[in-house]
Chain A
């Protein structure tokens, strides 16, 4: 085939003795992604701070490399701990982008895997399955949600152990090709790391995602509504806040995810209300979520001790 490219190694750039940090920072585009991070994610101050630190470390490590200062390649495997809906997956996506901008992963895609994707059903099924996922994630980030399910101490013949061993091996040998992010609840991840010390030592960064405060949840709700081209009026805004206060006390509260679900149900009720009324409808009405749309939620109906969070999820 004549259309295959000639293979040439790029000449190493002549290394100047001093580098302009600002230029390197601007050139790497990470400032843009970090701004996106601050804009899109409400709250999460400790996480944002940590990501900035990691980004700075990686940028400096790259500059050091250009200067011929040998640096041990930083460990990039991470663990994200926090309750459901605190933005772990979203941050992982941004992380993949940051790592790609800095040249630490080549493609910057994110592969999300859970126990089902890694662990097989019978003897000899696990290794190929895990390998398949690892291969797909190469050049990008492998995000393992609820990683502690991989390890089931109560069943000594569980195949999860095999998947863990393969992951550990890949995290060590394919460090140039793969970044692994483990995610899950804080306490259970801690137990998981205790029983798998190999993981703990290979994970360089532990990020803890705090729960959102009520103010932050309201801000998230506003952001979501705005992004979907809906609006709250003053009454519905107040009711929505009231709703969140009640919902937070109920079981299965999943932070931002619950906010999103609440808005989705609000949209549903709004659509029904408009359709039931019939006749002419203005653009403004199509966009507005009324207080009644939120007020109808079961959360308000059984605000008394009876919790009915289940069907509300």
Chain B
């Protein structure tokens, strides 16, 4: 199951040139671009591992794409996303975030039902990938 998180996730994966254009857009808006990766795709997992510091001082998309590609090389079987952070006073939030790399097969989620008091049912999402220990997920 292809997970859909962040911008463009219903579109086919962006090509490098398209990613570059998006990065350029971030730079033009003075957003700090950062790269993050994870192997836990749960939608509520917001704290992905940072790939280096946010790149405040880079002026050119090629340099940021270079970092994306190094990260892809290191974690080819993990989710990698690119964030553009708008630090302007009054906004101070992630303005753009999209996935630039995903594992070759994504096993998807299972719905867990828990019977609670008074016939109340609690639901939770369980990612099949997390059945295996961190670092060992998506290895075939």
| Residues of chain A whose beta carbon lies under 8 Å from any beta carbon of chain B | 1, 4-5, 7, 9, 106-107, 109, 134-136, 138-140, 174, 176-177
| Closest residue of A by beta carbon distance from B60 | A139
Query: In the complex, what residues of B have CB within 8 A of residue A140's CB?
Result: 59-60
The reply to whether B63 and A135 contact each other, CB–CB distance below 8 Å, is yes
A5 pairs with B25, CB closer than 8 A: yes
Q: In the bound complex, what is the Cα–Cα distance between A107 and B61 (angstroms)?
A: 10
Assess whether B95 is in contact with A1, with CB atoms less than 8 Å apart: yes
- Given contacts A1-B95, A1-B96, A7-B14, whether A109 and B21 have CB atoms under 8 Å apart is no
Indicate if the CB atoms of A106 and B96 lie closer than 8 Å. no
- Residues from chain B with Cβ under 8 Å of A1 in the complex: 7, 95-96
Q: Are B22 and A177 in contact (CB under 8 A)?
A: no
Measured between beta carbons, the chain B residues less than 8 angstroms from A134 are 63
Q: Give chain A residues whose Cβ lies under 8 Å from the Cβ of B7.
A: 1, 4
Among B21, B57, B60, B67, chain A packs the most CB atoms within 10 A around the CB of: B60
CB distance from B63 to the nearest CB of A (A): 4
Task: Tell me the complex Cα distance, A134–B14, Å.
Answer: 25
- Using A135-B63, A138-B63, A139-B63 as known contacts, say yes or no to A4 and B25 having CB atoms under 8 A apart: yes
Interface string of B63-84 (1 = CB under 8 A from A): 1001100000000000000000
Residues in A whose Cβ lies below 8 Å from that of B66: 135, 138, 174
Shortest CB distance B83–A (Å): 11
Give complex CA distance A84, B95 in Å. 47
- Tell which of B8, B18, B60 touches A107, judged by Cβ atoms closer than 8 Å: B60
Q: Is the CB of A177 within 8 A of B63?
A: yes
Provide the bound-state CA to CA distance between A102 and B107, in Å: 49
Report the separation of the CA atoms of residues A276 and B63 in the bound assembly, to the nearest whole angstrom: 56
Q: Most B CB atoms within 10 A — which of A7, A134, A136, A174?
A: A7
Contacts of B95 in A (CB 8 A): 1
Contact B18 A7 (CB under 8 A): yes
- Of A7, A107, A174, A176, which is within 8 A of B22 by CB? A7
B58 within 8 A of A: yes
Given contacts A1-B95, A4-B25, A7-B21, contact A174 B62 (CB under 8 A): yes
Complex Cα distance, B91 from A1, in Å, reads 14
In angstroms, Cα B8 to Cα A135, docked, is 27
**Which residues 84-133 in B have Cβ within 8 Å of A in the complex?**
95-96
Q: How far is the CA of A9 from the CA of B15 in the complex (A)?
A: 12
Chain A residue with Cβ nearest B62:
A177
A40 to chain B minimum Cβ distance, whole angstroms, is: 25
